[in-house]
């Protein structure tokens, strides 16, 4: 199908033009033909599928979501057991995907930015090390990297009985990285709320400070006040509750650890692999963004005696971010999509759970459709958020 | 006044600004925090590198039996030479090894031959076509007295190369059509192309591979089966085409309006405008990002592991499932990483070189 539309308007005022030379009519015909072909092919595939499903007596529809899943999932953010429904199992998988994507995106942005800046360092050694890191990470398939890290975690660390115990309450073994956390206490909820409150108030103070600076030229240390409040307020609350220090200590019971928080080797390998791989791409994006700033901008900023940190904060970053954000968005989406490789190393992400569901129920079409819908949802919501942020940054343009 | 300056009046640059010392001073010790950073980095390397070198080179064995490896602290590289045939060629029948090797050498030779831009002529296209036919008959057999090798036996590096290069070649025209469709002013065509491109780009490749392995058989009428390798190839083509379409669209958008208007004023119709004016220029701009796509397709073919195709990663894992060699996964993965790195680094540096060369403006 070749779309045949000439933007030139048809010459209608003389003799009657035959319809295949009239671009408007021709384009209508082409569109109808295209529509018929696409519908026809879809209908053909649909009828084939219907026939095949009927022959193999596979149920259709999403009724299976209500049924009992009857498989266990290694790690879960919500309580889940094999007796729960497929819908809940899939929700667990989706939350696991979100968990790894969320933490991964944050870490990738930080590490990628640091490496991108290191790549531009005037220190030859640092810049070459960063370049080596970027080249190596970019040119090895992420799946191979995942297998590599997983093999390292799984094979190099000892079994739980011989777990490494570098400091009290922290254990390293092939079941994962286990560490002590403070025991649940009512003070923690209050501290969490105070922290959030400090951030919200800080945001308003920051806005007010900006307004005041624009009007009077007097700066206001809003950032420092916010940081101080975010640390001190929860600390006071903690003291007010009598400074609870009880820790939930992990202890070896039988073959595994009980208590504490466990980071499984699957999750750690997936996160490490994804973060290192993607941060190499982010580093290149950051480098390109910073290099896109004209030398004159930096020289001008230095000429008005801004400190190097202020040059970065006030001159380079606001301009570089505009170049950086669109490709950064697509890297974040890549990370989210690549997290589906979790299935290869046995982390229960959405694809892995959906695959188990497909294998148990045989309802492949619904399963694959669910995978696609969920990832489309993740992709679209990330790109909507980033587009919003991008627009906000672009408004700075003068 | 008109006295010619003697040698003494030329001041040589200070010794600390030239030569090795000058280089060290500007690049490593330009100020106090740079010097501190250099010392920290050197200390870090001095801490990390010696044990690594000891593991990889000094305490290691390069070509021994698995038993000999049990008693060493270092790397057991012997896992590679002992299993190299299987890792690279997989299940290809014994005694026919020369066929995939010749096919791979042909592909490699042609790729290297095509690197020079002066050779980009129509004849090169025919050469590629002939080469693909020769490679296909070498791999599949059934002609010239070669025994037939089923695609289920194609594995290892030939499969990786086949999926990536062949997938890319077939996907490219499809991607161009999608890009043209997306830029079309016919709403139906445009909507269909945009939907396709955005949908494919929004889902991970693995879901396409699942679709190909589970759903394609359901799409076909009764009695028709479709080969497993071909199914994966179709999934890779469908997936790659969407990414190519976006790259090509970038090239089309970079064309100034004047080019279209000039073509219109010459009375060229749509296909002539595209064929003779727009695409030759637009495709030239997008060559470097296209090499980038080939690079990512090459890396992404490793995902076929998940639908149990035996590409070079899967053959390595099969080797590791052998209890004799199972504990040397780190060594095997490092070897494989080096293999991928060589291919990918060559491609990415070629893409960068092309970008510089083609950056001539128009």
Q: Does B118 touch chain A (CB under 8 A)?
A: no
B316 and B275 in a common domain: yes
- Dist. CA B362–CA B360, nearest whole Å: 7
**Contact: B42, A125; criterion CB under 8 Å:** yes
- Dist. CA A24–CA A30, nearest whole Å: 10
What is the structure's pLDDT at A397?
46
What is the structure's pLDDT at A280?
93
Q: How many helices and strands (H and E) does chain B possess?
A: 18, 0
pLDDT band at A120 (very low <50, low <70, confident <90, very high): confident
The answer to whether residue B59 is domain-embedded is no
**Between B45 and A397, the higher pLDDT residue:** B45
- Dist. CA B92–CA B138, nearest whole Å: 12
Asked if A35 and B187 count as a contact pair (C-beta separation under 8 A), the reply is no
Q: How many domains does chain B have?
A: 2
B39 and B166 in a common domain: no
B194 and B304 in a common domain: yes
What is the structure's pLDDT at A398?
44
B32 and B88 in a common domain: no
- Dist. CA A219–CA A157, nearest whole Å: 53
**Contact: B345, A52; criterion CB under 8 Å:** no
pLDDT band at A5 (very low <50, low <70, confident <90, very high): very low
Residue B42 lies in domain: 13-49
**Contact: A52, B222; criterion CB under 8 Å:** yes
Q: Does A9 touch chain B (CB under 8 A)?
A: no
- For residue A370, the chain B residue with the least C-alpha distance is B207
Chain A hits for B260, Cβ within 8 Å: 7
B334 and B290 in a common domain: yes
What is A86-141+265-394's CATH topology? MetI-like fold (1.10.3720)
Q: Does A55 touch chain B (CB under 8 A)?
A: yes
Close Cβ partners of A51 (under 8 Å, ≥ 6 residues apart): B221, B222
What is the arithmetic mean of pLDDT over A326-346? Answer: 87
The interface residues of chain A toward chain B in range 263-322, judged by CB-CB distance below 8 A, are none
pLDDT at A1 over 50: no
Q: Which of A183, A184, A180 is nearest to A257 (CA)?
A: A180
Q: Does B206 touch chain A (CB under 8 A)?
A: yes
CA A162 to chain CA mean position, Å = 35
> For the segment A139-189, what is each residue's pLDDT rounded down to a tens digit?
999 999 999 998 888 777 777 777 777 777 778 877 777 777 777 777 788
B157 and B38 in a common domain: no
What is the arithmetic mean of pLDDT over A253-265? Answer: 75
B323 and B176 in a common domain: yes
Nearest by CB to A125, from B28, B214, B329: name it.
B28
Q: Does B81 touch chain A (CB under 8 A)?
A: no
Asked if B209 and B306 count as a contact pair (C-beta separation under 8 A), the reply is yes
What is the structure's pLDDT at A225?
86
What is the structure's pLDDT at B362?
47
- Of A135-144, A191-200, A244-253, B205-214, give the lowest mean pLDDT range: A244-253
- For residue B185, the chain A residue with the least C-alpha distance is A5
What is the structure's pLDDT at B2?
55
What is the structure's pLDDT at B116?
78
What is the structure's pLDDT at A4?
47
Q: How many A/B residue pairs have CB atoms within 8 Å?
A: 181
What is the structure's pLDDT at B62?
78
What is the arithmetic mean of pLDDT over A187-199? Answer: 87
What is the arithmetic mean of pLDDT over A275-287? Answer: 93
CA A396 to chain CA mean position, Å = 26
What is the arithmetic mean of pLDDT over A235-257? Answer: 77
pLDDT average per 10 residues of sequence, chain B (362 residues): 59 77 80 85 90 82 76 79 82 80 86 79 84 83 76 84 89 93 88 89 88 83 80 92 91 87 90 88 85 89 87 87 81 90 89 78 50
The answer to whether residue B125 is domain-embedded is no
Q: How distant is the Cα of A140 from the closest Cα of chain B, in angstroms?
A: 6
- Dist. CA A361–CA A382, nearest whole Å: 31
Rg (C-alpha) for chain A, rounded Å, is 28
* CATH number of the domain where residue B282 is located: 1.10.3720.10
The answer to whether residue B103 is domain-embedded is no
Q: How distant is the Cα of A188 from the closest Cα of chain B, in angstroms?
A: 39
Asked if B90 and B156 count as a contact pair (C-beta separation under 8 A), the reply is yes
- For residue A147, the chain B residue with the least C-alpha distance is B333
Q: Does B215 touch chain A (CB under 8 A)?
A: yes
Structure tokens at B298: 């090459």
Q: How distant is the Cα of B285 from the closest Cα of chain A, in angstroms?
A: 19
Q: How distant is the Cα of A155 from the closest Cα of chain B, in angstroms?
A: 8
The answer to whether residue B237 is domain-embedded is yes
Rg (C-alpha) for chain B, rounded Å, is 27
What is the arithmetic mean of pLDDT over A346-358? Answer: 88
**Contact: A2, B271; criterion CB under 8 Å:** yes
Chain A hits for B191, Cβ within 8 Å: none
Nearest by CB to A7, from B185, B199, B302: name it.
B185
Structure tokens at A117: 């800046």
- Of A128-142, A205-219, A343-357, B85-99, give the lowest mean pLDDT range: B85-99
Mutate to test the interface with A, among B41, B164, B207 (most CBs of A within 10 A): B207
Q: How distant is the Cα of A186 from the closest Cα of chain B, in angstroms?
A: 42
B294 and B179 in a common domain: yes
Q: Does B41 touch chain A (CB under 8 A)?
A: yes
The answer to whether residue B40 is domain-embedded is yes
What is the structure's pLDDT at A282?
94
Close Cβ partners of A253 (under 8 Å, ≥ 6 residues apart): none
Using CA atoms, how far residue B170 sits from A14, B122, B132, B210, in Å, is: 45, 17, 12, 21
Q: How distant is the Cα of B7 from the closest Cα of chain A, in angstroms?
A: 35
pLDDT band at A2 (very low <50, low <70, confident <90, very high): very low
The answer to whether residue B45 is domain-embedded is yes
């Amino acid at each position: 199908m070749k779309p045949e539309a000439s933007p030139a308007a048809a010459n209608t005022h003389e003799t009657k033009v035959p319809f295949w030379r009239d671009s408007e009519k021709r384009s209508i015909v082409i569109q109808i033909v295209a529509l018929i072909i696409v519908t026809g092919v879809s209908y053909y595939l649909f009828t084939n599928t219907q026939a095949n499903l009927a022959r193999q007596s596979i149920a259709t529809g999403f009724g299976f979501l209500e049924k009992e899943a009857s498989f266990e999932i290694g790690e879960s953010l919500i309580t889940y057991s094999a007796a729960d429904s497929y819908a809940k199992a899939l929700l667990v998988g989706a939350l696991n995907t979100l968990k790894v994507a969320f933490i991964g995106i944050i870490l990738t942005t930080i590490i990628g930015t640091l490496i991108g800046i290191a790549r531009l360092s005037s220190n030859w050694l640092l810049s070459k090390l960063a370049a080596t890191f970027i080249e190596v990470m970019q040119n090895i398939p992420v799946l191979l990297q995942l297998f590599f890290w997983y093999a390292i975690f799984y094979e190099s660390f000892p079994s739980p009985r011989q777990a490494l115990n570098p400091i009290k309450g922290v254990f390293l073994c092939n079941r994962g990285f286990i560490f002590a956390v403070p025991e649940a206490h009512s003070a923690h909820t209050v501290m969490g709320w105070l922290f959030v409150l400090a951030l919200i108030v800080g945001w308003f103070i920051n806005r007010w400070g900006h307004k005041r600076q624009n009007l009077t030229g007097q700066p206001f240390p809003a950032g420092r006040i916010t940081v101080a409040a975010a640390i001190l307020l929860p600390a006071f609350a903690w003291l007010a509750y009598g400074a609870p220090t009880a820790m939930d200590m992990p202890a070896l019971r039988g073959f595994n650890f009980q208590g504490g928080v466990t980071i499984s080797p699957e999750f750690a390998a997936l996160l490490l692999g994804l973060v290192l791989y993607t941060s190499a791409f982010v580093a290149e994006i950051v480098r390109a963004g910073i290099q896109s700033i004209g030398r004159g901008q930096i020289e001008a900023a230095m000429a008005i005696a801004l400190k190097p940190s202020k040059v970065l904060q006030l001159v380079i970053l606001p301009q570089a971010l505009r170049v950086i954000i669109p490709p950064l968005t697509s890297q974040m989406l890549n990370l989210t999509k690549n997290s589906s490789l979790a299935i290869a190393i046995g982390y229960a992400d959405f694809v892995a759970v959906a695959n188990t569901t497909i294998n148990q129920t045989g309802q492949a079409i619904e399963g694959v459709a669910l995978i696609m819908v969920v990832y489309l949802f993740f992709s679209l919501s990330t790109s909507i958020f980033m587009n919003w942020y991008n627009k906000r940054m672009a408004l700075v343009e003068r | 006044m008109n006295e010619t300056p003697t040698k003494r009046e030329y001041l040589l640059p200070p010794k600390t600004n030239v030569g090795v010392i000058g280089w060290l001073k500007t690049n490593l010790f330009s100020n106090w925090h740079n010097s501190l950073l250099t010392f920290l980095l050197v200390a870090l390397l001095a801490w990390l590198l010696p044990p690594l070198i000891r593991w990889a080179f000094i305490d290691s064995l390069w070509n021994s039996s698995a038993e000999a490896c049990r008693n060493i602290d270092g790397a057991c590289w012997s896992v590679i030479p002992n299993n190299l045939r299987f890792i690279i060629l997989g299940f290809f029948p014994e005694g026919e090894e020369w066929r995939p090797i010749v096919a791979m050498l042909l592909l490699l030779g042609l790729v290297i031959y095509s690197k020079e831009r002066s050779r980009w002529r129509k004849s090169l296209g025919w050469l590629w076509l002939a080469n693909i036919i020769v490679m296909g008959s070498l791999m599949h057999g059934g002609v010239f007295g070669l025994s037939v090798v089923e695609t289920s036996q194609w594995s290892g590096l030939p499969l990786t190369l086949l999926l990536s290069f062949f997938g890319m070649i077939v996907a490219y025209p499809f991607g161009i059509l999608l890009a043209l469709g997306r830029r079309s002013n016919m709403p139906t065509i445009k909507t269909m192309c945009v939907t396709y491109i955005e949908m494919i780009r929004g889902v991970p490749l693995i879901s396409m591979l699942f679709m190909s392995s589970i759903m394609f058989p359901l799409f076909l009428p009764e009695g028709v089966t479709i080969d497993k390798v071909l199914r994966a190839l179709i999934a890779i083509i469908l997936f790659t085409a969407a990414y190519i379409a976006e790259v090509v669209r970038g090239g089309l958008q970079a064309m100034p309006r004047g080019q279209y208007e000039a073509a219109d004023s010459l009375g060229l119709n749509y296909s002539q405008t595209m064929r003779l004016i727009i695409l030759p220029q637009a495709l030239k701009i997008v060559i470097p990002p296209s090499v980038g796509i080939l690079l990512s397709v090459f890396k992404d073919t490793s995902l076929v592991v998940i639908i149990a195709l035996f590409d070079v990663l899967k053959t390595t894992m099969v080797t590791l499932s052998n209890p004799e060699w199972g504990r040397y996964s780190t060594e095997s993965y490092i070897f494989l990483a080096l293999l991928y790195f060589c291919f990918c680094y060559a491609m990415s540096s070629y893409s960068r070189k092309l970008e510089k060369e083609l950056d001539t403006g128009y």
